[in-house]
Every structure is written in C-alpha cells, then in structure tokens.
Amino acid sequence: MKDFSERINALTPEQRAVFELLRKSSRKKPARPGAPPPLERRTGAEPAPLSFDQERLWFLQQLDPASVTYNIGTVTRMEGRLDVPAFATALNEVVRRHQIWRTSFPLVDGRPVQAVAPVLRIEMPVVDLVEVDGARREAVALALAREGALRPYDLQRGPLLRALLVRLGEGEHLCLLAMHHIVTDWISSQIAWQEMAVLYQAAREGRPSPLPEPPVQYGDFAVWQREWLQGETLEHHVDFWRRELDGVPQVLELPTDRPRPASSTGRGRREPVAVPPRIADPFRALARQEGATPFIATLAAYSAVLFRVSGQERFLVGSPNANRNRPEIQGLLGFFLSQLVFRADLAGDPSFRELLGRAKKTAFAAYAHQELPFGKIVEALRPERDPSRAPLAQVDMQLVEAGPSSWIEVAGLRLSEVPFGEGLPKFDVSVSLLDGAEGIRGWFEYSLDLFDPPTITRLAESFASLIEQVGQRPDARLSDLRPLSEAARQQVLVEWSGAAAAGPESESPERSIAAQAARTPGVVAVVCGERRLTYGELDARARELAGCLRRLGVGPDVLVGLCAERSPEMVVGVLGTLKAGGAYVPLDPSYPEERLSFLAEDSGIRVLLTRGELRSRFPDGRFRIVDLDALEGARELDGDGPEAPPESLAYVIYTSGTTGRPKGVMVSRRGLAGYLVWAAKTYPRGSGSLLHSSISFDLTVTSLFVPLLRGERVVLVPESEGVEGLAAALRAGEGLSFVKLTPSHARALGRQPAGRTRSLILGGEALTGEDLAPWREAAPETLVCNEYGPTETVVGCSLFAAPAGELGPGPVPIGRPVAGARMVLLGRSFQPVPLGAVGEVFIGGPGVARGYLGRPELTAERFVPDPFGAAPGARLYRTGDLGRWRPDGTIEFVGRNDFQVKVRGYRIELGEIENVLAAHEGVR
C-alpha cells in the first residue's frame, strides 16, 4: 500500500481531485461487517473463472449475440498539441498493466473462462477531419465514434477494446475508447485516463512508467469472489435479499406513450434536469437533519415522483454500485460495477420526512448486503423472463458528488469528457445526477420505444418541483403537495378541461322537433319495417299523448314508465312524455319480470306507457297504465303546453348498483338539451341513423334524438332481428349520418363495414384500433368517433374523432371534453394530476345529473362539490374511471378503480352479482 500512497502524492491537484472523487464514490457505502479472506495474487497458470457479474453479462450477451447493449464507449476531447506516438505508448502501457483489457472469454468444457493474451497491441487509427467543413467536423467525428462504439465484439476471441483518434485540428483531437462492458466500467475508464495522463507525460519525456504494478489483477478478484461468496456467506446474503424483496412487484408499470415492443430496440435519449442551489440547499439540509445521505434523499424524491406517475405504491429502483470496497481493487480496471436494488414503499400516503426514514432504513440494509452480485439476486428471485424489461428494477438512479473539476491537465494537454453514449438505455427510465456547488444536475435517460421527449421533460420538471416542495414542507403528506407547476395546472384545469361555465341555454328537443314538424310535416321521421311516421304525424301523436299525460297529472319531475319494444309508438312515448313536462323511465321489455317490477316500484312512476301483451307484466293498481296503441280520448290538441323548467328531469335511467340494488340516475332537461345540441352540430349529417339499442341504455339517446333534431330519419331495427338485422340495415342504409355502437357491437358485426355510413360513433366501453380493423381496411374514410361518458353526466362528455384509416392499433383515446362538459383528472386529495399520470376522471358542467333517485347518501358520495368550480354550488361527478392526459390534451382511458365491468356495453357492478350469489342458500 505504500506505493499506492506515493503514487497519489505524485499527482497534480486536479489529478488528486479525480482520485478523491473515485475513492469517495466507491466508499460511500458502509461495508458489511465480517471478515472475508484476503484478496491475494493467485498462483498457477489456470485461467480464472468469470466473476459473478461478468458471468451474468456473458449470459445476457449469448441470448442476443448481435446486441450492442453492453458496448461502452467514452469520448475524450484532447486540447493542445498531441504527441500521437507518446499517447499510443501510454494507452498500450495501460493495456499491459491491466490483464483485464487483454482478456477474452473462450469456452472450456462449455463454460467461459478468462483467457489473458500475453501481449496485446491496440491499434489506434487516426482519422483526419481537418479538411471537413468546420461546422460539421464535430458531428462527423461523433458519428465515427458512435459507429466504432456500436460494432459488436467477439467475446470468445477479443480484443474487447478499440481505440480511435479523430483529428479535428492542429490542437484538438477526440479520442474514442470503446469496450465491452465485461472488461470495464465507468470508474475503470476514469482510472485509465488518469494513468494515461501520467504515462503520456513519462513517454513524452522518454522516462519509463512511474506507476507501480497493480498489486492484484481482475482474475484474482474473480477467484477471490467465488471462494468467498459461497456456502453460508452466500446463503446469508441471498436470504436477506429474498426477505427484503418478498412481495414487492418486480415490474413498475409506468404509463408509456407507446405500447411496449416485445423486445427493446435499444434506442434512447436524454433530457436534462436541474435543481438550482436555492432549491437543492433546503433539500440537502433536510436530508442531513434526518441522517440521510444526499443519495438516499434523492432516491426518496425519485420514488415519490415515480409513484405519482404510476400510481404504484411498491416497486424497485436500481442503482449502480461501484462495488470497490476492498482497497486492493480500488485502482484496478475491470467490471466491478454491480447493481443494487432499493425497495420503494409509498404505502399510506406518507409525508416526505417519513418516506425519507423508510428509504434510509431500506438503503442501509441494502448496503449491508451489497456484496451479493446483482445476478445472484436475480437468480434467487427468478423474475419472469421478459426481454422488453430490465429484471427487477426498470428504473434506475445514480448520484455522484461533483468533483472540483471535470478535466485533467497534463503536459500541455487538457482532457475533458465529451458527453457520448446517449441512446443505449438499459432501463425504461434512469436518472444520472451530479451533486455539487451548482445544485443537483444531470439528465433523465429513457427508452424511445416507450416515451416521447415531452413526457420525460415533464417527469424531470415534476422531480425538481417535488424537491422544492418537500424542502419547504417536509411534513406535508405527499398527496397534499402540488404535483403541478402553476402553468401546468392552468393547462389541465383551464385550457384542457373544457368550458367551466354552463353552456348556452339550449332549446329543448321536444321544441326543436315540433319546429321541424312545422317546417317539414310530410318528411319521414321514423321508419320501422314497412311502417313510416312523418314529422307531422310524429308531432301530432306525441301531442295527443302529452295531453293525455297532463290530464293524468304528469308535469315537471313526474316520472312516466316506458315499457315498449322498438316501434314508432316507443318514439311517440318518449316525445309525448317530454312534451307533457314529465320524465321518462325506460323499462326494457327484455328484463325479467322481477326486475321490471322492482324498477317500476323504486322509481315511483305515476303512469306506465306500454303496449299489447307487455301490459300483463305489470301488476294493476300501483300506477295508471296507458296503452300506447289506444290513446283514448286525447284528441283535443292543446298545443305544446308550458315548457317544463330546464332543471326538471328529462329521464331516469337505471344502472347497476354495488349493493345489489340498481340505482336511478336523474338527468335534467338542461343536461339532455345541451348534449343533443352539441351532438346535432358535431356529428356528420346524412340520411339519418339506425336505432338498434335499448332506450334503457343512455347511448341510445344519440341515435334517437339527433336525426329528429335535424330533419333526418330514425330507422328502427327491431329487437327480434339482432346483430344480423343491424348488419342488414347497415348494408341497406343509403348514406346514413351515423351509427352508434358499443365496441362489442362493432366486434360482433365482424367484417361488414358500413361503407356508406358517414360515421361510426362508439361508446360505452374502451375502444381499440383492433375493434375497428374491418373499417380501417375496407372503409378508411369512415369517421370514427369515440364518445365517452357515464349515464350520470348525460351520454357523452368527451369525444375523439378520426377517419378509420388514420387509427393505428392499440387504445383509441377518449379525446377532449365536449362543449359545456368539464373534465379533470384528480389524484388523491383532489389534486389535478400531471400530464401522463393516471388520475380519476371527474366530470362537471350542466350535464351532471341531479343524483340518484331516492339515494341521498350515494348521491353525496359520487357527486361532490367542485373544488375548482367558478360557479357556486358547482358539482363534479366522480366516475371511478381512470385516465391520463396525453401531451396533445386528449385523454386516454386507462381502466376502473373499482369492480365495475362492462358486458356488451352494459354496466355491471360485480358487487351486485356478488350480493345475488350470496343470497343463495347454497352459497356461504
């Protein structure tokens, strides 16, 4: 060790600084107590085995021999007059000193061993770019370097080291040193440059190498590691890691911008991150106060940000581990670098101070067992093999203390590293930080397979903003911190969320249809098989019914049951009820009798409209039953009567309830009118629409009303005709304006694209490009409209529209809020989530229903005061749907936060089914 300290003393101050940096970064973690055997030079000429981490890397390389994922290159700028032969001598002396840079990995009995070439001369071609145009010179040089760095290596034969010198000018060169990771690591390259500087100076002066021979070689380390890490010692460490990582998910599901390819293409990029001293200082002070290192504090902040984006409370974060704790190996070249994994635990919405405490405990325990190579941890835990993901940790972080300078000066040369090697990410996202006088700075590196640059820029901003906030409010729960900058908040809350104010007062559908009837009384409004109703007839019949209903006491907020199969009478029933000022309650005739009588009972309808034999389904006496086929004595035309107030109800539609009891959603006339005016304006015009779905499903509102508002026709497809009927109607329909379907319907239709239908409106369930495959191919011009919205906020609240031919595979977004609707994505404690992060969809605006009929508690739970609402008393409906903002301001539907499912577009609470099952005597 004496020569070692002599050697250090011989260094210039800058050289010293670099050495100190190296020492610190390899020592910052406490070593495990206990006494490993001494690391000594081995005797005998047997080739050494591979170290554990080398073996793992070797194995990964065999899986994909052409992959360049483990190619490492550094580019160094050399300013000043370069003595090329002296530099080549210096480089080759480093190669002579360190066996590992002369090593290749031939197979002996099927297993790789470390074969050291007795002599290896590294050629250093010089490419002269002096004649290249000055502006392009550097780019050309870097392209050459990249090409050199990314060529595959032959591990069996070697050499695994390449050098290239590019001459940019009289006093400027770039030097590429490229290697396979299996013989080097980041610290090795720092050491090598340090040594080359010393050797270059000696060569210039014609002196022999002043450096002492390394006490041991990499092969000695490999033998030592294998002797030590076996039996009980190995078990001890493996045990710890098994326990430590038990039950922690081995995949962190970050929301990606693109579907994950089956295996990574290896393309990546970097985006900068900067935390200025003003913000970094209080953060560091907090860390000190809590006895945590800057690394641990930064790790905690990083996991908090990842949690925010993914919503996942538990996951693993990797970090490179220099793994050079033993003094004998501190000056060696070779692949020592290992990976440590840290458990992130965000459960229970902790404060940052508490999170820091957790991170500290986890990190110290991990450090105490850091000697176990990462490969052994993977072996012990056996994660599912997935070539598209790094094992155990798909996110990574490193933080290095910044040295006083990042360059070396030697014999009139100034050496500095050129950022390079960008674009070979080994993780989904990794962050590399330098902690120093200029704050905490560095970059986020990410896979371009998964993310677009703006997404990562936002991640970096969110990271910096979190560090700022926790420095000020360490005891606030993380959910109480602002996840967004003011500008970002403004963007999602104001620009993208849709109009905050109530939309314009819209004319009611019954008035608009009456006006249409006055203009075009003879035009066909409703078609059902051979039957036709003109606008004049439709309006007259609806008026008759309205008169009859009024006499039965129907008016604002009085409910009228409607149980009829698709027929002109059904349409009259809906319209007549609205004209009377009442609200219709659809009772689907296909429902079982018990459910129908429950709905009739629960809603407290005063009148029931029905036809023919359906009448026998309902008990007599509870409400008046009106036969739609025999409207007795309603002949006097009493006009349209007074218009019902906009806040009174238009309809009550029942949806599945968790407790086993369906719940009636009370939709106001204002809400319905607002939606219809928007839809009539937005959807393409044509001959009309097909009505093929049940009116007990709010999706049907669109197909029923929109054509009638525009003087088009509604073509009814009877229940009895099923999907075939729909397909036939589609083929027959000349220039239909639109057909509204659930994605399930679309799939059931199969390969029968409605070529002449102007547009396809899909809603009620998540839509994917695959659902539309036939349209994408056969009718690429059909406009596809993905409409999203729960019954509680009137049919549709957001829309994404694109021609079928423009849609790719994968999820189709649900788009932007429609006129009048307001959508926000909120995290816990009602804070808007940042772009890209998953949040719950909350919907506001005039379309928000009054609530659930007769269920004030349930109403209070789901319809909440709007914390951002400009209007007093504004409410938001919390949907239970999960979504995220895409960079273009559209929303992507992600899933549900509960147990609601959709079966053929119908909403079903699994709780309802569970309750029914539990009620069965055979179920316990």
- Helix or strand or coil: residue 558? coil
User: DSSP string spanning 598-620?
Assistant: HHHHHHT-SEEEE-GGGGGGS-S
The DSSP 8-state label assigned to residue 114 in this structure reads B
Q: Choose between 172 and 912: whose C-beta lies nearer to ligand AMP.
A: 912
In the bound state with ligand AMP, the residue whose beta carbon lies nearer, of 42 and 896, is 896
As measured in angstroms, the least distance from the Cβ of 904 to ligand AMP is 11
Half-sphere exposure of 101 (CA within 13 A, CB side): 25
φ, ψ of residue 528 in degrees (nearest 5): -145, 105
Minimum CB distance to Mg ion smaller for 529 or for 895: 895
Residue with Cβ nearer ligand AMP (377 or 599)? 599
Contact criterion met (CB below 8 Å) for 863 and 876? yes
Minimum CB separation from Mg ion for residue 835, in Å? 26
Find the shortest distance in angstroms from Cβ 275 to ligand AMP: 38
Judged by beta carbon distances under 5 to 8 A according to partner kind, the member of Mg ion, ligand AMP, none in contact with residue 374 is none
786 binds, among Mg ion, ligand AMP, none (CB under 5 to 8 A by kind): ligand AMP
CB of 21 to ligand AMP, least distance (A): 53
Is the CB of residue 572 less than 8 Å from the CB of residue 540? no
CB of 680 to ligand AMP, least distance (A): 20
Q: Which stretch in 180-188, 611-619, 781-789, 874-882 sits in contact with Mg ion by CB under 5 A? A: 781-789
* SS3 annotation, 616-637: HHCCCCCCEEEECCCCCCCCCC
CB of 452 to ligand AMP, least distance (A): 23
**Least CB distance to Mg ion at residue 786 (A):** 12
Give the SS3 label for residue 497. coil
Would you say 268 or 789 has its CB closer to Mg ion? 789
Plot region of 281 (φ>0 → left; ψ -120 to 50 → alpha; else → beta): alpha
Backbone φ and ψ for 626, nearest 5 degrees, come out as -110, 125
Q: Which does 814 bind (CB under 5 to 8 A by kind): Mg ion, ligand AMP, none?
A: ligand AMP
Least distance (Å) between residue 790 CB and Mg ion: 6
Q: Which does 907 bind (CB under 5 to 8 A by kind): ligand AMP, Mg ion, none?
A: ligand AMP
Task: Judge whether 891 and 816 are in contact, CB under 8 Å.
Answer: yes
Q: Which residue has the tokens 């290749």?
A: 104
CB of 791 to Mg ion, least distance (A): 6
The 3-state DSSP class for residue 228 equals helix
- Token digits of residue 394: 């798909």
Strand 161-169 and strand 172-180: pairing?
antiparallel
Select from ligand AMP, Mg ion, none the partner in contact with residue 836, using the beta carbon and a kind-dependent cut-off of 5 to 8 Å.
none
Q: Residue 586 binds what, of Mg ion, ligand AMP, none (CB under 5 to 8 Å, by partner type)?
A: none
C-alpha–C-alpha distance, residues 66 and 47, integer Å: 26
Distance of closest approach, residue 502 Cβ to ligand AMP, in angstroms:
22
512 binds, among Mg ion, ligand AMP, none (CB under 5 to 8 A by kind): none
Q: Report the alpha-carbon angle 141-147-151, nearest 5.
A: 155
Q: Write a three-state SS string for 731-747.
A: HHCCCCCEEEECHHHHH
Closest to Mg ion by CB, 331 or 905: 905
Total number of residues shown for the chain: 924
Q: Which does 425 bind (CB under 5 to 8 A by kind): ligand AMP, Mg ion, none?
A: none
Q: Report in angstroms the alpha-carbon separations of 245 from 109, 302, 313, 315, 398.
A: 35, 19, 14, 9, 20
CB 894 within 8 A of CB 884: yes
* CB-count burial class (<10 Å; 0-12, 13-18, 19+) for 12: middle
The amino acid sitting at 456 is: I
What, of ligand AMP, Mg ion, none, does residue 844 touch, CB below 5 to 8 Å by kind?
none
Nearest distance, CB of residue 795 and ligand AMP, angstroms: 7
Hey, what are 868's tokens? 């951002």
Q: Which does 765 bind (CB under 5 to 8 A by kind): Mg ion, ligand AMP, none?
A: ligand AMP
The one segment of 521-529, 541-549, 782-790, 866-874 that binds Mg ion by CB under 5 A: 782-790
# residues contacting Mg ion (CB under 5 A): 1
Cα separation, 57 vs 336, in Å, equals 12
Cβ proximity to ligand AMP, 622 vs 855, nearer residue = 855
**Cα 446 from Cα 455, distance rounded (Å):** 10
Among Mg ion, ligand AMP, none, what binds residue 677 when CB lies within 5 to 8 Å by partner kind?
A: none
Give the nearest distance from C-beta 897 to ligand AMP in angstroms: 10
Minimum distance from CB of 697 to Mg ion (Å)?
Answer: 8
Q: By C-beta, is 449 or 698 nearer to ligand AMP?
A: 698
Which residue is associated with the tokens 């970094």? 280
Q: List the single partner that 350 binds among Mg ion, ligand AMP, none, CB under 5 to 8 Å by kind.
A: none
Binding site for ligand AMP (CB under 6 A): 655, 698, 763-767, 786-791, 814, 879, 881, 893, 896, 902, 907
Judged by beta carbon distances under 5 to 8 A according to partner kind, the member of ligand AMP, Mg ion, none in contact with residue 370 is: none
Our CB check for ligand AMP shows the closer of 203 and 795 to be 795
Which residues of 759-815 form beta strands (DSSP E)? 759-763, 783-788, 798-803
Q: Find where tokens 């179920």 sit.
A: 923
Residue closer to ligand AMP by CB (options 185, 912) is 912
> Which of 572/849 has CB closer to Mg ion?
849
Minimum CB distance to ligand AMP smaller for 224 or for 788: 788
Q: Work out the end-to-end distance of the chain between its first and last CA atoms, rounded to an integer number of angstroms.
A: 74
52 versus 705: smaller Cβ distance to ligand AMP: 705
Separation of alpha carbons 37 and 40, rounded Å: 9
- 655 or 702: whose CB is closer to ligand AMP? 655
Q: Which does 175 bind (CB under 5 to 8 A by kind): ligand AMP, Mg ion, none?
A: none
Q: Which is nearer to ligand AMP, 606 or 745 (CB)?
A: 745
Cα–Cα distance measured from residue 236 to residue 238, given in angstroms and rounded to the nearest whole number: 6
Which among 91-99, 233-241, 412-420, 783-791 is the span making contact with Mg ion, rule CB under 5 A?
783-791
Q: Residue 702 Cβ, how far from ligand AMP at the closest point, in Å?
A: 11
Give the 3-state DSSP-derived string for 381-392, with helices as H, strands as E and coil as C. HCCCCCCCCCCC
Query: Nearest distance from residue 908's CB to ligand AMP, in Å?
Result: 10
CB of 576 to ligand AMP, least distance (A): 25
Build a one-symbol-per-residue string for 787-806: x at contacts with Mg ion by CB under 5 A, - elsewhere.
--x-----------------
Stretch that binds Mg ion, among 35-43, 436-444, 509-517, 784-792 (CB under 5 A): 784-792
Pick one of Mg ion, ligand AMP, none as the site partner of residue 712 (Cβ within 5 to 8 A by kind): none
- 676 Cβ contact list (under 8 Å, min separation 6): 506, 509, 701, 705, 706, 709
Residue 709 beta carbon to ligand AMP: minimum distance, rounded to whole angstroms: 21
With CB cut-offs between 5 and 8 Å by kind, which of ligand AMP, Mg ion, none does residue 561 bind?
A: none
Cis peptide before 37 (omega within 30 of 0): no
How far lies 336's CA from each of 157, 189, 371, in Å? 22, 12, 11
8 A C-beta contact, residue 397 and residue 440: no
Nearest residue to ligand AMP on Cβ basis: 791
Residue 576 contact partner, candidates Mg ion, ligand AMP, none, CB within 5 to 8 A by sort of partner = none
> Using an 8 Å Cβ cutoff, are 182 and 71 in contact?
no
Residue number of the CB closest to Mg ion reads 789
Nearer to Mg ion, 474 or 789 (CB): 789
CA 841 to chain CA centroid, Å, is 15
Residues facing 112 on adjacent strands: 107
User: Which residues lie near Mg ion (CB under 5 A)?
Assistant: 789
